[in-house]
Structure 1
């Protein structure tokens, strides 16, 4: 069956359709092509299988985006706090601990689903969510809610559930969260009285259970600590010593952006040898960091340029979505690319890679894109200036997971302003 997608401002609704081929779509490099899809992957030629051939004239195809670091248990709770509050990291933690006492599993599940719908509509088909183990009420309520949501969304959105274990969380509760289905082991060594202990117990758990690790690391901009006291240095040294085969990730790492080159470069060389991936989270760290600084306010951003130059896999995300840690944000990967270009000074293609191919590498996922064999997690955007897309100026998107259309957003705009100079 042949079907036209129609224009970005049209009204076609394609959700739920299984696509056999995208015809006449523009690739990232600028050429027009037909893309065949079978069994959830890109194939050579148009397959003789069931599905719809879509005329994608007027659209450009990109790999679908990832959100490599979310907090779905906290998402969309900003309205529950004082609207005049401006939080740094510690006050945001305090605000969340006040909110979470009244939060149950049903509350988490409902808000998480609302957030996932926002992410997916904007081109994101994979989300790694860190999940607290609260020490008030049922400690497993977030884990249970998000593991259940992961299964409900299977085939539409890939959800990875990461245990976010603070230093107050007993080892037995971490083990229980893993038993209930958590995919990744996480923690916050930079907030602990003994950061080395937190790194060590996370890696111990990873070795016992064979799971990947994703730690909140060095989420501060001061440079008063010695380099060997960095969470990232400790993590890399332990990973090398233990020869861990699983994926190890360090998220935030904003302290790297505050180190001078002579201190930064040896740290990055060590991280590269250890094979650790880094996740940078510009919008939340720009919001949280530097509030006590009177001038020359630090950016609160990892040293993304030097991370890439060191050959370290880099992913980028938005972190929090309208909660005490970030009252703004629109669940849009192109909000992240815009910030990577403006605050991180990355080139457009590097910013795009950080939310797509680079993010999938850090998350341990197979490649997605338009090459034969790639997973057919794809995003169609209007076929105009790619810079407009990366700047967040285009809202129309069609999103595919394994060749299935999971989101279709069109934007109709009318203006009482002339199009051209007379």
Structure 2
């Protein structure tokens, strides 16, 4: 019997409604949810008393070729997007495939330990780097087979148009033929966004691949590539999944424009992936007050019926000096800066993230995929608040990672007594 097919009982877990239950796994799915102790266990039992059981999160947007580059010789001061891009282009000239593989493997394992059993990474493809970053990520995917699902987006360089872009266009097609899962690019940064969008979408159509594009990562309210993408999909009947990441400019536009664009995006079936950590860091550095937040129009997109997911994006690289490889961080920022409820924020990094990636989403109920996270907490709010919480991660019905934290306080010195030389009438500081 394959290990994923073996029955596994998750005993004494807490469900979202506050009740406790036993959750029975088998064949990569949840087979039953029963009252605690109601059925005799078959197979292995893992006692998860004190843990809240949730659908596992996913990471729908990261950059494993850039991750953990904080040690390279680059300007470490505050930067905006353009200067971060320049720093990255300089740094990538000396990066080896082994270095990319090792950093990506470390980041993927950190994300897995946090609960993400599916990851989508953009990696640069073009004449400057060839396909070496894609090849490095393919090796990471092989090394982690059975522990998590890793998707690779071929993020193609400029130029793309005309004779000057021929080699980059060819390398994009080669990357897809060699195992990249989706077409990536940033058409809004081209001098002719419409023509660049045509090239990316037509390549995806010809290669029968989904699309995940960086769209309107700017505070320029005149940047309307998201609407153009929706029009392209609706006009062509594009049959593959489409994600639009960032979409920052939508948060700066007039309410009527936002409403119209959100309705178009919903009709086109496009998922929007917001990346709060990096965009809050990069955007609006030189903007006079009032300073915009650098997030897309999350509430309006959700109200229109758009799938809105959230990703961690960059971590400890020229684009973001921080990042803790934890979808809970993105969810927390959606609560604090995006004003979502904790449950809606967690949905953005779990079910919505998986739908944006073309994966099956589920719940803690029979028939759902056994992609699960058990976290030591009693509520979703508690899980988001406590970044150190103990976690157990399940992929395809089996335990793939468990984290336990230990905390203890030393006993005070029995000879120590509070100071008695304070002036009269004072008290201990609070």
**SS of residue in 2 equivalent to 1:201:** helix
Indicate whether 1:111 and 2:109 are aligned. no
Aligned twin of 1:44: 32
8 Å contact kept, 1:382–1:394: no
Aligned to 1:395: 389
1:20 aligned partner: 8
For residues 351-371 of structure 1, give each alpha carbon's deviation from its aligned partner in whole angstroms, at most 9, with x where no partner exists. Answer: 010000111111110123322
Where in structure 2 are the equivalents of 1:184-263 lying within 5 Å? 184-223=182-221, 225=222, 230-263=224-257
1:139 maps to 2:130: yes
User: Contact 2:126–2:172 at 8 Å: present in 1 too?
Assistant: no
1:335 alignment partner in structure 2? 329
Q: Report how far residue 32 of structure 1 moved.
A: 1.2
- 1:212 deviation in Å? 0.5
Contact 2:67 2:315 in 1 (8 A): yes
Tell me by how many angstroms 1:372 deviates: 1.4
CA distance in 2, matches of 1:289, 1:106: 32
Q: 1:197 to 1:51 in 2, by over 3 A?
A: farther
69-78 or 168-177, which deviates more: 168-177
Q: Where in structure 1 are there 5+ consecutive unaligned residues?
A: 1-15
- 1:162 alignment counterpart: 153
For residues 40 and 200 of structure 2, the distance between their equivalents in structure 1, rounded to whole angstroms, comes to 48
Q: How does 1:11-410 map to 2 (within 5 A)?
A: 20-44=8-32, 51-82=43-74, 84-136=76-128, 138-168=129-159, 170-223=168-221, 225=222, 230-410=224-404
Partners of 1:148 and 1:48 in 2: CA distance? 42
Secondary structure, in 3 states, of the residue corresponding to 2:197? helix
Separation in structure 2 between the aligned mates of residue 28 and residue 308 of structure 1, nearest angstrom: 22
How far apart are 1:94 and its partner, in Å?
0.4
Which has the higher mean CA deviation after the structures are superposed, 36-45 or 71-80? 36-45
Q: CA deviation at 1:135?
A: 3.0
CA distance in 1, matches of 2:274, 2:137: 23
Say if 1:112 and 1:99 are closer, same or farther in 2 by CA, change over 3 A. Answer: same
Distance 2:301 2:388 in 1: 29
Secondary structure in 2 matching 1:306? helix
Could you say which residue in structure 1 is the equivalent of 2:408? 414
- Please give the alpha-carbon distance, in whole angstroms, between the structure 2 residues aligned to 1:316 and 1:201: 27
Q: Which runs of 5+ in 2 are unaligned?
A: 161-167, 413-430
Q: Relative to structure 1, is the Cα distance of residues 215 and 392 closer, same or farther in structure 2, using a 3 angstrom cutoff?
A: farther
Partner secondary structure for residue 45 of structure 2: strand
- Asked if the contact 2:113–2:401 (Cα under 8 Å) also holds between the matched residues in 1, the reply is yes
Deviations 1:378-415 (A, max 9, x none): 11111334312122444311111112211111111123
Pair 357,88 (structure 1): closer, same or farther in 2 beyond 3 Å: same
SS of residue in 1 equivalent to 2:130? coil
Change in CA separation of 1:179 and 1:151 when aligned onto 2, cut-off 3 Å: same
Once the 2 structures are TM-superposed, how far is the Cα of residue 331 of structure 1 from its aligned partner? 0.5
Counterparts of 1:48 and 1:162, CA distance in 2: 45
How many Å apart are 1:416 and its aligned residue?
Answer: 5.6
Equivalent pairs, count: 398
Secondary structure of the corresponding residue to residue 148 of structure 1: helix
